[in-house]
Amino acid sequence: MEFNEKLQQLRKKNNLTQEQLAEQLFVSRTAVSKWESGKGYPNIESLKSISKLFSVSIDDLLSGDELISLAECENRSNIKKVYGLMGGIIDVMAAAFIFLPLYGKPEGGHIYHVNLLSFTDTTKINLWIYWGIFCFLIVLGIMRLILTHYDKEAWLSRVTNGSVALSAAAICCFAAAREPYVTVLMFLFFIWKITLLYYIMNRKQHQVKTS
């Protein structure tokens, strides 16, 4: 008997609806429905809760192959979360571009470097663009951290693509404005993002091939 059949049998034996079981496990009814239809497995913590609730061992709930599949799924999920958190942190770190002295300011035949708060040697439009880029990147970073925490994969993918596109546009913008320090640092951040995205895509392809 497969896990989904065992769970359904245990639930009915204890006169519980899917909604009541979900409440006791602190998960959504959709999650319970997904488990019982054989479309997924609970995570380790939920599995422990099920084991405790019905007074059965985890070995009784899952076969050896199912345990291996669950462990692999949990490992992929954890790695994906780490990558998502790292990507979000990179975007939030765009705040550094506001406070670091990266912007050239000619004065008395010399060029001094100041932070964005003190930078006035450009047009107001350019300043608005600079501030807009960094503020938007920070917001995207916060969104990525939140979406990663709540495991909203579809929205996370859109926000990640938006972050990469904005970073590419920012590099072109600062290169055209002849701000070398900002351009180089932004390019390094961009490479970091692309590397993370590459590993995430590779893992997704590997998951599809092995499933």
CA dihedral 197, 203, 209, 211 (to 10 degrees): -120
C-beta of residue 4 within 8 angstroms of C-beta of residue 36: yes
Query: Tens digits of per-residue pLDDT, 98-156?
Result: 999 999 888 777 888 899 999 988 899 999 999 999 999 999 999 999 998 887 888 98
pLDDT digits (tens, 9 = 90+) for 146-204: 998 887 888 988 998 999 999 999 999 999 999 999 999 999 999 988 988 777 666 65
Of residues 162, 167, 161, 156, the one with CA closest to residue 80? 156
What is the rounded average pLDDT for all residues in the chain?
A: 87
Q: What's the whole-model pTM score?
A: 0.70
The 10s digit of each residue's pLDDT in 19-31 is 999 999 998 899 8
